[in-house]
Amino acid sequence: MPTRTWRPAKWVLPLLVLFLAMATAWGTAVGQWPARLRIAPGEQLPQPGFPFRFGTPRALAGDGDDAAIAAEPRPADGRTSPAQTQVGWRLPVQLGPWTVRSLDLDIVERKVVPGGDSIGVLLSDEGLLVAGVQTLTTSDGQRLAPSREAGLRPGDLLLRVNGKPVSVPADVSILVEGMAERGEPVQLEIRRGDQILTLPVKPVPVSLPRPGGGVHTVHMIGLLLQDPVAGVGTLSFYDPETGVYGALGHQVLDGQGEPARMAAGRIVSAYISSIEPGWKGMPGEKVGVFHDRQLPLGTIDRNTRFGIFGRLLLGSGTPAATPGTQPVPAGTAPASGAEAGGPSPEPGSIAANETDVTRRPPIPVALAHQVVAGPAQLLTVLHGRKVEAFDVLIEKVVPQRRPADKGLVIRVTDPRLLAETGGIVQGMSGSPVIQQGRLVAIVTHVFVNDPARGYGILAEWMLEEAGLWRNRGTSGPSERQIDEQETPVQQPLSHPPAAGPAPRVESGQDYSESLDRRAA
CA 346 to CA 388: how far, in whole Å?
16
DSSP string, 11-62: THHHHHHHHHHHHHHHHHHHHHS-SEEEE-TTPBPPP--TT-EE---EEBSS
Handedness of CA 102, 107, 111, 116 (dihedral sign): positive
Contact 474, 37 (CB under 8 A): no
Nearest to 203 by CA among 136, 155, 158, 130: 136
Q: Is 494 a catalytic residue?
A: no
End-to-end CA distance of the chain: give it in Å, rounded: 100
Beta-strand (E) ranges in 134-290? 136-137, 143-144, 157-161, 164-165, 186-192, 195-201, 204-209, 215-220, 223-226, 229-238, 244-247, 266-269, 271-276, 285-289
Task: Name, in order, each residue with C-beta under 8 angstroms of 22's C-beta and a sequence gap of 6 or more.
Answer: none
Rg of the chain, C-alpha, whole Å: 28
Query: Which residue in the list 118, 147, 269, 429 is annotated as catalytic?
Result: 429
Read off the amino acid at residue 463: L
Q: Give SS3 for 383.
A: coil
Cross-strand bridge partners of residue 319:
313
Bridge-based pairing of strands 118-122 and 111-114 is unpaired
Q: Rounded to whole angstroms, what are the CA distances from 328 to 212, 368, 377, 459?
A: 57, 20, 30, 16
CA 402 to CA 274: how far, in whole Å?
38
Contact 249, 243 (CB under 8 A): no
Query: Which residue in the list 104, 147, 219, 250 is annotated as catalytic?
Result: 250
Handedness of CA 126, 291, 154, 260 (dihedral sign): positive
Query: Which residue in the list 117, 239, 414, 450 is annotated as catalytic?
Result: 414
CA 114 to CA 380: how far, in whole Å?
10
Handedness of CA 147, 149, 155, 160 (dihedral sign): negative
Handedness of CA 255, 383, 503, 496 (dihedral sign): negative
CA 234 to CA 378: how far, in whole Å?
12
Beta-strand (E) ranges in 399-437? 408-412, 432-435
Q: Is 483 a catalytic residue?
A: no
CA 421 to CA 424: how far, in whole Å?
7
Q: Is 250 a catalytic residue?
A: yes
Nearest to 463 by CA among 362, 395, 332: 362
Q: Which residues are catalytically annotated?
A: 250, 414, 429
